[in-house]
């Protein structure tokens, strides 16, 4: 993509966002919907700025970010390790593949009662649920990447008389970086979603519980401010991982 094309793409994205915000403002001002149910973007933005400057929004945002990042990090590390072990062994894929395919479609909410039974409605429970939900994109991507190493690279490792661990570390995992990073980006999105849901369920301090309380009190401007903040967290975290991915994968474009 040329610089001009990239600029046109960003300009088009910003234009679409501005149009949607304008439609939202028009619906709030002239749509006949009471402000208690649909505040305009101006009120939501003012509530967000007020919350960030003098309210509890900074504290709850920090709690949500901490749970999201920690749960995602645990899931990513476990997913890479387990995925590398399974992907590097044909027998492991044959024996564990059906089990993984059986567990993978099960919604994370089905595991919540089990986790609650052991940990209760606590912050640790939220962390474990986030890790359970976010591990699958990374694990499956790692299995696919490690198991699909080019045959000629495998032949080279045999010529060099590399052991299984050396082959995994020096050839399979570097070759799997695009798959692993794509899975990590998806896992981070899942982590944010599950963190918010977990906070709503457990009443733990965080953006999820903050949004729930503001909705119950009919403070619609604060509610929408929290939703906007969640969208911003998702956008920024995705951009950070995109930048890291572009830097780590420079070798693929040579």
Domain of residue 96, CATH code: 1.10.3720.10
Task: Pick left, alpha or beta for residue 161 (phi over 0 → left; psi -120 to 50 → alpha; otherwise beta).
Answer: left
Instruction: Give me the pLDDT at residue 253, please.
Output: 63
Distance CA 197, CA 93 (A): 33
What total of structural domains would you count in the chain? Answer: 1
Q: Is residue 50 part of a domain?
A: no
Q: Is residue 196 part of a domain?
A: yes
Q: Is residue 21 part of a domain?
A: no
Q: Is residue 1 part of a domain?
A: no
Instruction: Give me the pLDDT at residue 34, please.
Output: 85
Question: Domain range for residue 160?
Answer: 70-249
For the question of whether the overall pTM of this predicted structure is more than 0.85, the answer is yes
Q: Is residue 146 part of a domain?
A: yes
pLDDT for 199-243, tens place per residue? 998 888 899 999 999 999 889 999 999 999 999 999 999 989 988
Distance CA 62, CA 19 (A): 31
Place of tokens 């390790």: 81
Phi, psi of 239 (to 5 degrees): -65, -40
> What residues have CB less than 8 Å from 170, skipping those under 6 apart?
157, 162
CA nearest 101: which of 72, 68, 149, 144? 144
Q: Is residue 254 part of a domain?
A: no
CA nearest 129: which of 137, 139, 119, 138? 119
Which parts of the chain have pLDDT scores under 70?
1, 159, 161, 251-254
Q: Is residue 58 part of a domain?
A: no
Distance CA 62, CA 4 (A): 37
Give the rounded percent of residues in the chain with a pLDDT score beyond 70.
97
Q: Is residue 137 part of a domain?
A: yes
Which stretches does DSSP call E strand in the chain? none
Return the exposure string of 147-158: e unless at least 16 CB atoms fall within 10 Å of the residue's CB, then b: bebeeeeeeebe
């Amino acid at each position: 993509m040329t610089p001009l094309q990239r600029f046109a793409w960003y300009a088009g994205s910003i234009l679409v966002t501005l149009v949607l915000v304008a439609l939202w403002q028009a619906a709030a001002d002239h749509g006949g919907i009471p402000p208690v149910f649909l505040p305009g973007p101006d009120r939501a933005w003012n509530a967000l700025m007020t919350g960030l400057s003098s309210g509890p929004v900074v504290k709850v945002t920090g709690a949500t970010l901490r749970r999201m990042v920690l749960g995602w990090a645990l899931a990513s590390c476990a997913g890479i390790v387990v995925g590398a072990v399974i992907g590097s062994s044909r027998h492991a894929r044959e024996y564990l593949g059906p089990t993984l395919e059986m567990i993978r479609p099960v919604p994370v909410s089905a595991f919540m009662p089990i986790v609650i039974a052991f940990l209760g409605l606590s912050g640790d429970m939220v962390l474990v649920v986030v890790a359970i939900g976010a591990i699958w994109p990374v694990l499956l991507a790692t299995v696919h990447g490690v198991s699909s190493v080019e045959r000629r690279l495998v032949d080279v490792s045999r010529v060099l008389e590399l052991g299984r661990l050396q082959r995994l570390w020096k050839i399979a995992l570097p070759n799997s970086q695009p798959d692993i990073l794509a899975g990590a980006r998806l896992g981070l999105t899942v982590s944010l979603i599950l963190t918010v849901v977990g906070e709503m369920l457990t009443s733990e301090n965080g953006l999820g519980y903050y949004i729930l309380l503001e909705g119950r009190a009919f403070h619609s401007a604060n509610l929408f401010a929290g939703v906007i903040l969640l969208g911003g967290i998702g956008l920024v975290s995705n951009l950070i991982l995109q930048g890291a991915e572009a830097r780590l994968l420079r070798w693929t474009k040579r």
